Structure 1
């Protein structure tokens, strides 16, 4: 009888330990945690440090809040004076609202890259070669 209680106690304790390990998350200083509970956004974004979530029910998305540098692939374009040019660029961006970055856009890094490429082509088309060279 006592042996069965000890075995049951050990099983419950090990189950609780596994649950606690699955629920414990650490968010780094430069990140914010966006929690989706059953697909719905939780009201507040988690600050850096130790946080707990409900395993299986919650999903934690960590968003980097640092300034990110991203190269833009070389773009071929025709200037306003019909000269073909090839332009490289680098973009710098920073996420301001972590919840919007996760919920409003499917992949915010890809979206920023595509927007930069589109803007670069547009600027090339509106400029003269002399303006681009200067």
Structure 2
């Protein structure tokens, strides 16, 4: 009798071990568990840690709650100003409701990817080329809003959307390069003209000062000669101002006019 009890106890213990082994589940810290019992959601979403399910009746689906980084394939489109471009982006999203992510949509990753591609093409068609190249932050916000609106019903939250690269045709790149070169040349000419204007004003002031002191012009001439001679040139061209000749003419003493010879006397 005792032996039969021991055998029955061992059998019951083995059955319990097998049941626990079949019913035991472990949900990781970054996961949540959704239990389906005979096809319907049973109870609340299972928190991280050890949990039990009914073997052969319950099915546990684990959902990753980490932020997912999903690249959006490059989409080709025509901008509002009729320029063909290829734009790619990246989407950062996470699941905030594990039950909705499993029940509402068949594959939430695929759904977010398709929505991101469609929204990116729509953004390309509504934007100018200059906006795609310079107003990235504004376009990112609009793209994030377009993707997040339907994703809320899927239990998914869009954290951030970033446009990575804008590829232009080679002809457009050359046109933009020519435009940038012309703009730089225009600014260089404006700067040179402004410099000439400022220099002319300063030269006019210097000429006015030198006109009051004629000796200043001679000193400026000597300074120019010194600057040219410092370069060890074999030939030195020395300008001689007319004002200096006039100054020397005024400084020269006046000589009496020559006396005419006496007239000849005829004999």
- CA drift of 1:13 comes to 2.7
The separation in 1 between residues aligned to 2:43 and 2:26, in whole angstroms, is 19
Secondary structure in 1 matching 2:29: coil
Aligned to 1:61: 61
Aligned-residue Cα RMSD (Å) equals 1.6
Q: Moved runs in structure 1, 4+ residues, more than 3 A?
A: 1-12
Secondary structure in 1 matching 2:124: helix
2:30 pairs with 1:30: yes
Matched ranges for 1:7-86 at <5 A? 7-86=7-86
TM-score (norm 2): 0.47
Secondary structure in 2 matching 1:93: strand
Matched ranges for 1:108-119 at <5 A? 108-119=108-119
TM-score (norm 1): 0.90
Deviations 1:47-91 (A, max 9, x none): 111100011111111111111111111111111112111111110
Higher relative contact order, structure no. (Cα contacts within 8 Å, ≥ 6 residues apart): 1
The separation in 1 between residues aligned to 2:38 and 2:49, in whole angstroms, is 23
Name whichever structure is richer in strand by fraction.
1
The separation in 2 between residues aligned to 1:64 and 1:50, in whole angstroms, is 16
Secondary structure in 2 matching 1:73: strand
The separation in 1 between residues aligned to 2:39 and 2:66, in whole angstroms, is 26
Structure number, greater radius of gyration? 2
The separation in 1 between residues aligned to 2:17 and 2:68, in whole angstroms, is 37
- CA drift of 1:14 comes to 2.5
Deviations 1:6-41 (A, max 9, x none): 555444332321221111111111111111111101
- CA drift of 1:43 comes to 3.0
Secondary structure in 1 matching 2:105: coil
Q: Which runs of 5+ in 1 are unaligned?
A: none
- CA drift of 1:131 comes to 0.7
